[in-house]
Structure 1
Amino acid sequence: MNGPEITFEVAPELRLFVAHERRQGRTAVTTDGASTLGHVVESLGVPLTEAGQLLVDGAAVPASHIPGPGEFVQVGAVRRPQQVPGAPLRFLLDVHLGTLARRLRLLGVDAAYESEDIGDPALAALSARQKRVMLSRDRGLLRRREIWAGAYIYSDKPEEQLRDVLGRFAPALAPWTRCTACNGELTAADKDSVSSRLEQGTQAGYDVFAQCTACGRVYWRGAHHARLEAIVTDALREFGGTDGQAPTG
């Protein structure tokens, strides 16, 4: 770029995206005189999904603004909780976020997940077609224009990932109501109706069951229930929700 020079400053939360030498306060950026401010922001490494309010000399501007010589640009972080207008709040997670997908489903959050790498174009198209918020740690994927909405997952630890998503989007929580395997809805099941799917020990030791209306998987309060209960309890304590009573086997 060899056009107008502007002064840039990004919010502290976003500085991990920019080159190290640009992380300390204000920095000079030379533009080409034709690219939008959104393009300039992304060229510096910040996905637009993570950019909140854009200010030029203190006044809010859209991402389509063309920067002029001497302008002072401030890039704010996304305000939380973030509102996603136009459709029910639903998520789509890429192949690297399987544990996060299962934990969101455990809490009753609609979270589609691709267990195989179908490629960025297909994921972006699916996000647009189903109007789902794309969750990913892939900055390149989040820069694709087809994505309906998206969010960068900052941590590689499932516990921190879950807190980040719940704090950012504040989805309604209804634990024990969604299949952690396929994202389908759970319904209470009579023991006799699911007995053919159960091992003998399970039939003898448990009486309360739920079944996925989509894939048929059966759930009960099995040996690992205490670990799942702890995840649910922590999420409800911090973020609120409706504590459903369906079993979770």
Structure 2
Amino acid sequence: MERSEIWISFSPELHVFVAAAQRAGRSAVGTDGVSTLGHVVESLGVPLTEVGTLLVEGRQVRASHIPRHGEEVSVREVTRPQRLPGPARFLLDVHLGKLARRLRLLGVDAAYENLDIGDPALAARSAAEQRVMLSRDRGLLRRREIWAGAYIYSHHPADQLRDVLARFAPPLAPWTRCTACNGTLRDAAKASVHEQLEHGTERSYDAFAQCADCGQVYWRGAHHADLNAIVEEALREFGQRSASRP
């Protein structure tokens, strides 16, 4: 197997993934002459979900390109907003529960696994349901069977939410989705949810919504102001109107 060497550079947005040697500009990287450029990029720490364009000698190539000795390679970040081959539907791993609830609060279709079912099962569900896999696990995002994926850069839910909304620009419809199970909310008469309400809640509130899937009941309770602040901030930044739900 003949060894060769290429020159590679990464956009600053991708420096979080690579070693210091690849952050200062172009650097020499050895290849085996048979591995794809996509494999080389991932071996340096960058999931292909975060790569927008691969340039070789200034021309765009696919991840399947076999780099030749001496080639100049430029790895660019994903262009935002990122186009998807289907609706903006997401799947979040076990570590992103707060982000899942915030996306659902905004009416974004966000499936969430609250158990650690393993990378193969998550990747299979992403493919079967055509959902964008959201994770901070680079190994998971490197699995070939995922339909699409995105690395979540921050540990903070507010920043995570802003990142997903900026990257994928999903349609927002606040107060229309169950934050517990991702089902659809519908208006509910007080009499129809009477048995699920405590006496103080029933006495104090008149407007209710109920999940069509799990039956969870919602009203504008003590935490509404905090939730509304999340909604209003998202609407201000991403310019979409809210729905009139409790």
Task: Map 1:1-249; keep pairs closer than 5 Å.
Answer: 3-85=3-85, 87-247=86-246
Select between 151-160 and 16-25 the one with higher mean Cα deviation: 16-25
Amino acid at match of 1:155: S
Residue 230 of structure 1 aligns to a residue in which SS? helix
Matches of 1:195 and 1:242 in 2, distance apart? 31
Name segments (4+ residues, structure 1) moved above 4 Å.
none
Residue 171 of structure 2 aligns to a residue in which SS? coil
Matches of 2:125 and 2:82 in 1, distance apart? 21
Amino acid at match of 2:206: D
Tell me by how many angstroms 1:2 deviates: 6.2
Tell me by how many angstroms 1:16 deviates: 1.0
Structure 1: state its 5+ residue gaps.
none
Q: For 1:39-68, what per-residue CA distance to the aligned partner results, in whole angstroms no more than 9, with x for missing partners?
A: 110010000000111000111111111000
Matches of 1:9 and 1:245 in 2, distance apart? 48
Residue 17 of structure 1 aligns to a residue in which SS? coil
Say whether the 8 Å CA contact 1:51–1:78 is kept in structure 2: yes
Say whether the 8 Å CA contact 1:187–1:213 is kept in structure 2: yes
Identical columns (%): 70
Tell me by how many angstroms 1:156 deviates: 0.4
Q: For 1:114-151, what per-residue CA distance to the aligned partner results, in whole angstroms no more than 9, with x for missing partners?
A: 00100000000000000000000000000000100000
Matches of 1:36 and 1:3 in 2, distance apart? 14
Aligned length: 246
Matches of 1:130 and 1:163 in 2, distance apart? 24
Structure 2: state its 5+ residue gaps.
none
**TM-score normalised according to structure 2 size:** 0.99
Matches of 2:2 and 2:241 in 1, distance apart? 56
Matches of 1:39 and 1:119 in 2, distance apart? 23
Amino acid at match of 1:19: A
